[in-house]
């Protein structure tokens, strides 16, 4: 499986367009292969490590040694079996994701993919999975942005795991408002009807890895996972680059 090309306007050689300087601190040297992020900024990334909620992956600061579920999960009906994220959505990572998504700073992709695969691959290798599905964007947003960040991350993961990527199973039927200012309950209601099965596609018990860029409450990915389950997916796990905490 091949990774979809970047939009035309980014292709003609990143290194020719940009000097090899870190695009976060603008101080240190940083190569295109590192996503123009220097080693000093890289060292500020906060990887998510146990202990975390076994369901939604929310990291927990403290001395917890047994498996537990956080209050976030206890109050939500989640359709995925587990959600995990590579890093916390803070500082350098949050800035890189925002600029990647909203300001077309596509050179950060190499940096984000590196963080994502470093954490996701060892965890996903431990179990058998059949299929990778990115959380879809609404067509209006796709036209605005010219790319779906979840789809790009998912395609890198599919390539690394040699699993099929399917971008045509689920579609986003409602353009959801920006979620940031909503309460957890409002978010859940907002996204519950946001996804639908594409056409008459049906699954036969496949174990699906659902991919998105950021997970906050899990409402969006859960709604999407719910559609996949209703279509016949055996199990759905979620992986995102970053976790809002």
Tokens 């359709």 correspond to what residue?
A: 79
Considering only 56, 150, 210, 228, the residue that binds Zn ion (CB under 5 A) is 56
Judge whether 199 and 236 are in contact, CB under 8 Å. Answer: no
72 lines the binding site for Zn ion (CB under 5 A): yes
55 lines the binding site for Zn ion (CB under 5 A): yes
The sign of the dihedral angle between the CA atoms of 140, 239, 158, 98 is: positive
38 lines the binding site for Zn ion (CB under 5 A): yes
70 lines the binding site for Zn ion (CB under 5 A): yes
45 lines the binding site for Zn ion (CB under 5 A): no
Report in angstroms how near the CB of residue 203 gets to Zn ion at its nearest.
Answer: 26
Q: For residues 147 and 170, give the distance between their C-alpha atoms in angstroms, rounded to a whole number.
A: 16
Element containing residue 192 per DSSP (H, E): helix 184-192
Contact region for Zn ion (CB under 5 A) — 62-70, 117-125, 159-167, 229-237?
A: 62-70
Q: How far is residue 27 CA from its own chain's centroid?
A: 28
Of 204, 212, 206, which is closest to residue 238 (Cα–Cα)? Answer: 212
Nearer to Zn ion, 28 or 104 (CB): 28
Contact string (CB under 5 A) for Zn ion, positions 9-28, x = contact: -------------x-xx--x
92 lines the binding site for Zn ion (CB under 5 A): no
Contact region for Zn ion (CB under 5 A) — 50-58, 162-170, 201-209, 224-232?
A: 50-58
SS3 (DSSP) at 237: strand
Window 205-234: residues binding Zn ion (CB under 5 A): none
DSSP-assigned letter for residue 109: H
Find residue 236's DSSP bridge partners.
208
Window 95-134: residues binding Zn ion (CB under 5 A): none
Considering only 34, 45, 58, 237, the residue that binds Zn ion (CB under 5 A) is 58
Annotate 205-239 with b (16+ C-beta within 10 A) or e (fewer). Answer: ebbbbbbbbbbbbbbbbbbbbbbbbebebebbbbb
41 lines the binding site for Zn ion (CB under 5 A): yes
Count of residues interacting with Zn ion (CB under 5 A): 13
Nearer to Zn ion, 76 or 231 (CB): 76
Cis amide prior to 214 (ω within 30 degrees):
no
Kindly list the residues in this chain that would bind Zn ion in the complex (CB under 5 A): 22, 24-25, 28, 38, 41, 53, 55-56, 58, 70, 72-73
């Amino acid at each position: 499986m091949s990774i979809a090309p970047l939009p035309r306007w980014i292709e003609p050689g990143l290194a020719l367009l940009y000097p090899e300087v870190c695009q976060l601190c603008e101080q240190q040297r940083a190569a295109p292969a590192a996503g123009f992020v220097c080693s000093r900024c890289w060292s500020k990334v906060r990887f998510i490590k146990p202990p975390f909620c076994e369901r939604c992956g929310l990291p927990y600061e403290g001395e917890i040694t047994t498996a537990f579920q956080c209050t976030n999960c206890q109050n939500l009906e989640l359709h995925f079996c587990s959600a995990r994220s590579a890093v916390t959505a803070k500082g350098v990572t949050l800035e890189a994701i925002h600029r990647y998504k909203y300001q077309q700073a596509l050179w950060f992709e190499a940096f984000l993919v590196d963080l994502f695969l470093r954490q996701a691959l060892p965890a996903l290798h431990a179990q058998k999975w059949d299929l990778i599905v990115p959380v879809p964007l609404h067509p209006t947003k796709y036209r605005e942005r010219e790319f779906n960040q979840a789809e790009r991350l998912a395609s890198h993961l599919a390539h690394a795991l040699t699993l099929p990527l399917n971008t045509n199973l689920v579609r986003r039927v409602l353009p959801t408002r920006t979620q940031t200012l909503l309460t957890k309950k409002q978010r859940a209601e907002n996204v519950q009807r946001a996804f639908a099965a594409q056409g008459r596609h049906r699954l036969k018990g496949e174990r699906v890895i659902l991919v998105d860029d950021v997970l906050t409450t899990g409402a969006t990915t859960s709604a999407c996972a719910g559609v996949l389950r209703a279509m016949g997916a055996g199990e759905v796990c979620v992986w995102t680059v970053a976790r809002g905490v």
